[in-house]
Amino acid sequence: MTNFLDAYSIQYWLESCPQGYLMDTDYGHPADEKEPALVIEDPVLRDAAIRTTVQLVVGERCALASSSGLVGCAPDAPSQCFLATQTLDEARHVEVFTQRLYDLGVKKKELEDVIARYANPNLVKFAEILLEKVDKKDFVAGVVGQNVVLEGMAFSVFEMMETVNRDPNPKFAHTLTGTIADERRHVGFGENRIGSLIRQYPERKSEIEQMQKDMSYFMLATFADNFRSNEMQQEVEHARDELDAGARGDATWQGVNLAQAEPAEIEAVLSDTILKDFQARLGRIGLAYQTPAKPRVAA
Amino acid sequence: MSGSGIDDVHALEPEDFIEEVHSFEHWFEAVEGYLKGLDHGHLPDVAEALLTAEERDRLIATFCSYAVAETAALEASSGLIAIAPNRHAKIFLSTQTVDEGRHVEVMLHRLRELGVPDPEAEVERRAGPSVRNLRKKILQLVEAHEWDAAIFAQNVALETMEYTVFRAHARTADPITRDLLERVLRDERRHIGFGENELGRRIREDKKRRLWLGTVKSELDSLVLQTFEEAMEEIGVPRWDRPSLGRDYLETVNRLGLV
Amino acid sequence: MSSVDVDPGADRTRGDADETPRRRYELEDLGFDEVPKKYRKFYRRWNGPGDTIAPNEALCPVCKVIIRSPRELRAGDRLYCMACMTRVRIVAGENGGLETETLY
Ligand SMILES: [Fe+2]
Ligand SMILES: [Fe+2]
Ligand SMILES: [Fe+2]
Ligand SMILES: [Fe+2]
Ligand SMILES: [Zn+2]
């Protein structure tokens, strides 16, 4: 049973991250890279960058709490060891995104206030559904919620953000590349380990499927708040005025040119990509995907 | 915080020092020095010593108990992240979680190297009773969200004991076991230091904690001592040659004022 | 390790009244591999009770690693042990020598 887990061992992790793609980085990016002057100096862009980064910190704090909470209820040593490496990956993500807030000019003393002010309430609800399962020491639901739903979402969001930032903000894009590499392992573990557990506990299916539906709803609500807000509309227009087409580069992701698309179009492609991805992954591990309700348009 | 030309590390401001040593970045650069190029926790080119059947069996029993202690530390350090009072402590504990996960992994692998086909089952069968009780006790404190008591139980009591036992064992062990233990000890140094400093700071802020921790300590003492004696028995250190667990443990407890 | 010059000025971590200039020490990496490379020269392994501790060195009371400073130590100085995260203060011992105290 544990053979496939060898690729998730701490040994493997040490060779691939600290001695691999994280070598010679400083908070996740090459030491000589900085936030672009435009982002730091333009109040609208800086504010937008802070708001986005806060959501990343919130998501990563949730992942840190859940992966650490799941170590104690994992059914075997290899799974415990994998979750130990994931715990540290998530702590690193919290650290690098927190550092980005500092780089954007947030003062250390203001950190918690800034996070509380900008954290999207729907994202917080999304996290609470997962953490409730973890609190109950429910390993199977916890891993589906964490490694399939939360990570599946993070994976696509990071990929999209990396595409958008590749030309205008290589520092942030590189930070994201390292986290994407980590999330790949996490998503892989979710699928590989949980499939056999679902077969073992078929009676748990419906409850876990409901969790996926609820979490998906709050994810969509978070996106809706974000992409449909007036601030977002203004920020996008402003950013496009400031950055000429050359600096924006070719930011094509999932067939959509993100440098030109309207926010609604970006929201649609992001939601769609993630939900399709959930469906495929859940199908492979033997769970039926549940379509979430459509959230109302945010005020 | 990068750059190699640091003139005097001792000139850092205390807050910057604390932020630095608790960070992932620090951990990451620290372990690189002694974990690079290993094969399951030891240097790859060390040859297995010839062990008699009895020696091998005793070593297997010892590693079974170690694996329980390390699993306790893995479960406790990960469980403590949720109740850690600040971000530094959370990030430090995630580095400790992966250290402990590494210890569990290399110890189970050592059992495999010693010819045990199913290490997890062997641990279940052979680990000593005291170390199991200690694990239970530590996890109870974590579950009860007793931050100070759990940090004391894990990072002071359990880790100081492990530190003393592993050092004693490394002195007489076969070369592979010695190399493995010496690298585990390098990680444990951070864990012990974190525990003592964290509790030291918290006692300073709130004197009532000292009394409470004194009670926790006296409740744990006999369990820690039994586990220690059990380990010494397994390693086969004669009674007259046993390092005194008392010394390291009492020194720490004295510095913290928990007498 | 050789002393190269003297430290002329008043400085932030000095707590005693001794005004005489301090000896300075050029530190080199002695292979202590438990801290990031950039900090290695500030530490070395302790070889037990027979090990001579230089005037710019102190034994960490918590983890028994030798902490090294680029200058001669005096009572009141603050040191950091990066191996176990301890803050240490140098204090005058009863027998006239220097001792360490943890600061937490
Ligand atoms: Fe993450
Ligand atoms: Fe993740
Ligand atoms: Fe350990
Ligand atoms: Fe430890
Ligand atoms: Zn130390």
CATH number for the domain harbouring residue A212: 1.10.620.20
Task: Find the closest chain B residue to C64 by CA distance.
Answer: B189
In a domain, A292, yes or no: no
DSSP sequence for A152-202: HHHHHHHHHHHHHHTTT-HHHHHHHHHHHHHHHHHHHHHHHHHHHHHHH-G
> How much of chain C is in helix, strand and coil states, percent to nearest 5?
5, 35, 60
Residue with tokens 């199913």: B118
**What is the reported pLDDT for C11?**
44
Torsion of CA B94, B5, A99, B97, to 10 degrees: 0
Range of the domain at A147: 2-285
**What is the reported pLDDT for B29?**
87
DSSP class of A299: -
Instruction: Of C7, A235, C102, give the one whose Cα is nearest residue B253.
Output: C102
Residues of chain B neighbouring C61 (CB-CB closer than 8 A) = 251, 255
Say if CB A62 and CB B78 are below 8 A apart: no
**What is the reported pLDDT for A2?**
38
- pLDDT, one tens digit per residue, over A174-193 is 999 989 888 888 887 888 78
Q: C21-37: b or e for each residue (b if 16 or more CB lie within 10 Å)?
A: ebebbebeeeebbbbbe
Q: Do chains C and B touch (3 or more CB pairs under 8 A)?
A: yes
φ, ψ at C78 (rounded to 5°): -110, 140
Residue with tokens 């590499």: A181
- pLDDT, one tens digit per residue, over A130-183 is 999 999 999 999 999 999 999 999 989 999 999 999 989 999 999 999 898 888
**What is the reported pLDDT for A248?**
66
Q: What is the domain partition of chain B in residue ranges?
A: 47-255
d(CA A73, CA A139): 6
The residue among B9, B95, B202 with the most chain C CBs within 10 A of its CB, best to mutate, is B9
Q: Is the pLDDT of residue A22 over 80?
A: no
ipTM of the complex: 0.84
Written as tens digits, the pLDDT of chain B (259 aa) is 344 478 999 999 998 898 889 988 888 888 888 888 888 899 998 988 989 999 999 999 999 999 999 999 999 999 999 999 998 899 999 999 999 999 999 999 999 999 999 999 999 999 999 999 999 999 999 999 999 999 999 999 999 999 999 999 999 999 999 999 999 999 999 999 999 999 999 998 888 999 999 999 999 999 998 999 999 888 888 887 777 777 788 888 889 988 7
Residues of chain C neighbouring B14 (CB-CB closer than 8 A) = 87
**What is the reported pLDDT for A299?**
45
The model's pTM is 0.86
Q: Which two tokens stand for residue A166?
A: 């590749």
Q: Is the pLDDT of residue C34 over 60?
A: yes
Strand order in the sheet with C65-68: C43-45, C65-68, C57-59
The residue among B4, B15, B189, B253 with the most chain C CBs within 10 A of its CB, best to mutate, is B189
* Of the options 1.10.620.20, 1.20.120.140, 1.10.10.10, 3.40.50.300, the CATH number for the domain spanning B47-255: 1.10.620.20
Residue with tokens 């990451």: B28
- pLDDT, one tens digit per residue, over A201-228 is 999 999 999 999 999 999 999 999 989 8
Q: Å from B56 to nearest chain C CA?
A: 31
Q: State the maximum Cα–Cα separation within chain C, in Å, rounded to a whole number.
A: 36
- pLDDT, one tens digit per residue, over B98-141 is 999 999 999 999 999 999 999 999 999 999 999 999 999 999 99
The residues that bridge with C68 in the sheet, in sequence order, are C57
**What is the reported pLDDT for A183?**
87
Would you call B75 and A9 a contact, using CB atoms and an 8 Å cutoff?
A: no
The residues that bridge with B101 in the sheet, in sequence order, are none
Q: What is the domain partition of chain C in residue ranges?
A: 22-102
- Split into its structural domains, chain A has a count of 1
- pLDDT, one tens digit per residue, over A112-134 is 999 999 999 999 999 999 999 99
pLDDT band at A4 (very low <50, low <70, confident <90, very high): very low
